[in-house]
Amino acid sequence: MQFAEIILPLPLQGTFSYTVTEDIAPYIKVGQRVSVPFGQRKLYTGIVYSLHNNQPELYKTKPIHAILDETPLVESQQIKFWEWIAKYYMCSLGDVYKNVFPSALRLDSDTFVKAIKGKDILPEMEVSDDAYIIWEALQHRELLSVDECAEIVEKKSAIPLLKELMNYGLVTLDEKLIEKYTPKIDNYIRVNIDLKSENLSALLNEISRAPKQRELFLQLFTLQKQNTSPIKVSDFLKTYGGTHAQLRNLEEKGLVEIYENKTERIDTYDEELKRIKELSQEQNRAFNEILSLFKEKDNVLLHGVTSSGKTEIYIKLIEKALAKNKNVLYLLPEIALTTQLTQRIQKYFGDKVGVYHSKFNQNERVELWQKTLNNEYKIIIGARSSLFLPIQNLGLIIVDEEHETSLKQNDTKPFYHARDSAMVWAKMNNAKVLMGSATPSLEMYHLAQENKIGYVSLTERYGNVQMPEMEIIDLKKAYKQKRILGNISNRLEEEIRSTFKAQKQVIIFQNRRGYSPILECETCGHTPFCSNCDVALTYHKLTHELKCHYCGHTQAKPHKCYQCNSTELKTVGLGTEQIEDEFSAMFPDKNIARMDVDSMRRKFAFEKLITAFQNHEIDLLVGTQMVTKGLDFDDVNLVGIIRADSLLNFPDFRAHERAFQRIVQVAGRAGRRKERGKVLIQAFNAENPILQNATLFDYKKTATEILYDRFEHLYPPYTKLIEITFRHHKKEIAEKTANYYTQMLRAFFDDKTLLGPEAPFISRLNNQYRFKTLIKIKQGQNSAKVKALLFEALEKLHVVKAFRSTRIDFDVDPY
C-alpha cells in the first residue's frame, strides 16, 4: 500500500500521512493539490510532499479524498525552498504554504446543513420558532450553509439553533469544498459562421429599417475581415456605439453570434518594442565588473549613487540572461516602484514581462501563477511575494533597493527577508543575484568588505549630472527669527516659488501619514487612545475620523473631551494631510497631491498618480517614505524634508542607518537630468552628524561610524538576532510566560546576549499584551543549535497548562 505525506495550511510542525487508494495511485505526483480530511469533518487542500510505502505505526491513516490537478502546481525544488524558509525562520511548513501559495487555489471546506430524511418535528419537541424556520427551509433545499441559515432568521449566528435541531436528530452537518478561483468570462461577438452569401443581401434589406443595426453589422463585418482576434462585445459597443439589445436583435435574425469565452485578467503589451540603450563608459565598466565577479561569486552588490543608471545595467543583464535562455526575477521593495519600472522594462521586452504584487486580487494571482508555471513569462517583476512564484529555468535575481525594510515580512509567518531568501533560492537554481542600492544595508556592505560577496561601485550620475545641492534649515533659528509659517520655513517657500517659476516640480517628504498624530484637550490634556492598542489615535481631517494605524480601529472625531467635556481640542504634531493643506493654502493656483497608504488604497491609484505627475498635472507631491524609493521623474528639481529629526528619534538600533538612507534616497529624486537639483532639510538638531553626513552623501563615513557602535554593542552584522514575542489578552499571563521561558534560557546565554523580557514601546496591540526577549548569536556560534534549544524550551514550557494559551513567535533577523 502507498502513502503520501501532505503539507496542510496549518501552524503545525511537519507533514501529515494519508493513504493513497488504488484508484488514484497511478495519477498522484509530488506537488499536486489534493483534498484531504482533517479532524472530525474538515476538508483541506494540501500539497503532496512525498510518496512512500512506510505505514505509520502509531495511528490509522485516512485516505486522500481527491486529486485536484492533472499536473503539479508546485515544483519539487519549490518545496525544498519552502522547507528552508520554515527551518531558517522557525515556523511550520504549513505556515509557508499558507502564505506563499495563492489562497484562491486553496479550496476551503465550508460547513453545510442538511435535513435527515424521514425525520419530522414532533409535538413534544421544544423547538424554537427560529429553529423551525431553518428546518422548514431545509425541506425545500438539499443543503444550506451555516451563514445562509443565519441570514434566513436574521441572526448573527445560527449555531445555537442548529444545535437545537441536531439534539433532536433532525439535521446533520456536512463539509463541502468551495472553489474560490473563478475564470473571468466575457461575451464576444462574430459574424454568424453559418451565414451564406446568397442570404446576406436579403437579411441586410430586412434590417434596412433599423439603420443602427445595419451600421453595427457592417462595422463588425469589416472589422472581422481586418482582424482575426476575438472581438469583445463591451469593446465593440464602446468603439462603435449601440446597445446590447441591438446586438441581440442581430443575433435573433441570424446575422451575428454572441458567445462566451474566458478572458485573461492580466493585460498584454501591444506597443512597438524599443532598442535597448547603449551604456555610458562608467555604466559599461560596472557591467563588465559584474559579469567578471559572477564567474567566481554568486552574489554581487552594486553600490551606485542615485540616478547613476543602475536600471540600464539591470536591463543589459536581463538581455544577457534571456540570450542564454534563462529567466529573470526582478524584486522591488514597493508596489509604487513596479508601475514606473514595468513601463520601462516592457518597452524593451514586451509580453515577456509579468508583474506580481499585493494589489492583485486572488483570481489575478492564480492566473499569473499558472502562466509562470507554464513558462509564459521570461521576466517577473514584483514585490517580495513574487520570490515564491514557480519560475522556470531561473538564471538571475535582481534585488533593487536591497536596503529597504519592506523586503522583510513582519505581519504574518513566515517572517522572511526577501533579499536573504533570494540568495538561497538562487543557489538552489544555480542562478546569480545582483543587489542594487545607493545606500546599501550595513549587513550587505559588511559582507562586501569581508569579500564574501562581490562589490561594484558607480560614483557618478548618468550624463555627468551633479549630485543635488543639500542645505539644512535650522528650525530653532527659523522659529526664533519668525521666518516660518506653520511648518514651512520661509526659505523652503522661496525655493518652491522659484522652482514653480522655472516650470519644474517639487517633492515634499514627511514620514507620518494622517493629519495629526495626536488630538489633545487644552483644558485637561486628555488624548484619545485606541481601545485595542496602547497608542494615541491619529486624526484624519479628510474623513473627520480618529484612526489607529496599528489595528485599523476608527471612530468619529469628538466634538468635546471624553474626560472633562471641554470643547477646546487641539491637534499636536503633523502628518502628510496637514502638510498638503498648508501647501494648498500657500499655493492655491497649483495642483498639490499626496502619496501615502491612505491615498493609495485603490487598485490603480499608484499608476494614476505617477502618470499624472509625469504629465505635469501635479506641481507638488507630498508623501511618506513611498516617495523616497527609486521613483524617476525628469522635472523634479526641488525636494523638501519637513522634519528630519523624526527620522532619528526611534528606539531602534537601526534608526541612524535608516535616517541616512531615507534622506539620501529622497534627495536622489531631485535634478536627475540636466539641471542640478536642490534639497532642503528642515531640522531642529541641525548639527546632528547623520544629517551632516547626508548633506555630503558620505556613505562610507556614516557606515564606518555606525559599524563601530554595532561592534561595541553586539548588533548585526556582528551578531544574528532572534526576537521572541509573547502575546496574550491578559497582561499577567503574557508577562509570566515570558519570564518563565526566558529564565529557562539564562543558563545558555550571558547578560549581553540575552536581553529581556521587556514590554515594547507599544505594549498592547489588537487587545494582545506583548513582551519581547532578544537573543544575540555571536559569530562562530552554531545558530541551528540555538534554534533547536529554543524549540526544546518551548516544548518544556507547553508542559505547563497555564502557559499554553500564550502565543509565541520567533522572528529571525528582525528588521
Task: Report whether 165 contacts 171 (CB < 8 A).
Answer: yes
Q: What is the pLDDT of residue 783?
A: 94
Task: Report whether 383 contacts 332 (CB < 8 A).
Answer: yes
Listed residue (330, 182, 163) closest to 262, CA to CA: 182
Which position has the higher pLDDT, 713 or 366?
Answer: 713
Q: 147 pLDDT band (50/70/90 cuts)?
A: confident
For the beta sheet containing 554-556, the strands, ordered from the edge strand earlier in sequence to the opposite edge, are: 538-540, 545-547, 554-556
Strand partners, 637: none
pLDDT at residue 413 above 70? yes
Q: 3 pLDDT band (50/70/90 cuts)?
A: very high
Residues 125-137: pLDDT tens digits? Answer: 888 989 999 998 9
Q: 31 pLDDT band (50/70/90 cuts)?
A: very high
Residues 703-751: pLDDT tens digits? Answer: 999 999 999 999 999 999 999 999 999 999 999 999 999 999 999 999 9
pLDDT at residue 178 above 60? no
Segment 351-355 shows an average pLDDT of: 89
Give the integer Cα–Cα distance in Å for 738 and 774. 11
204, with CB counted inside 10 A (0-12, 13-18, 19+), is middle
Which position has the higher pLDDT, 216 or 323?
Answer: 323
Q: What is the pLDDT of residue 162?
A: 84
Phi-psi region of 362 (alpha: psi -120 to 50; beta: other; left: phi over 0): alpha
pLDDT at residue 362 above 80? no
pLDDT at residue 266 above 60? no
Q: What is the pLDDT of residue 56?
A: 86
Which position has the higher pLDDT, 201 or 673?
Answer: 673
Number of H helices, E strands in the chain: 25, 37
> What share of the chain in percent tops pLDDT 70?
94
Q: What is the pLDDT of residue 179?
A: 57
pLDDT at residue 759 above 70? yes
pLDDT at residue 377 above 90? yes
Q: What is the pLDDT of residue 169?
A: 86
Q: Which residues have C-beta within 8 Å of that of residue 610, sequence separation ≥ 6?
A: 336, 339, 340, 631
Q: 121 pLDDT band (50/70/90 cuts)?
A: confident
Task: Report whether 665 contacts 654 (CB < 8 A).
Answer: no
Task: Report whether 803 contacts 797 (CB < 8 A).
Answer: yes
CA-angle at 535, arms to 530 and 540, nearest 5°: 70
Segment 656-685 shows an average pLDDT of: 91
Q: What is the pLDDT of residue 552?
A: 86
Amino acid at 354: G
Segment 37-51 shows an average pLDDT of: 86
pLDDT at residue 514 above 90? no
- ω before 414 within 30° of 0 (cis)? yes
pLDDT at residue 489 above 90? yes
Segment 253-258 shows an average pLDDT of: 84
Give the integer Cα–Cα distance in Å for 50 and 4. 6
Q: What is the pLDDT of residue 268?
A: 58
The per-residue pLDDT of the chain, averaged, comes to 89
Q: What is the pLDDT of residue 175?
A: 60
**pTM of the full predicted structure?**
0.81
Segment 672-678 shows an average pLDDT of: 84
Q: 365 pLDDT band (50/70/90 cuts)?
A: confident
Listed residue (576, 584, 573, 575) closest to 496, CA to CA: 584
Q: At what angle do helices 211-226 and 233-240 cross, to 10 degrees?
A: 120
Residues 436-478: pLDDT tens digits? Answer: 999 999 999 999 999 999 999 999 888 888 899 999 999 999 9
Kindly report each contact of residues 342-346 with a partner whose C-beta sits within 8 Å and lies 24 or more positions away, as own/partner: 342/381, 344/311, 344/315, 345/315, 345/318, 345/379, 345/381, 346/269, 346/271
Q: b/e string for 536-560 if b means 16 or more Cβ within 10 A?
A: bbbbbbeeebbbbbebebeeebeee
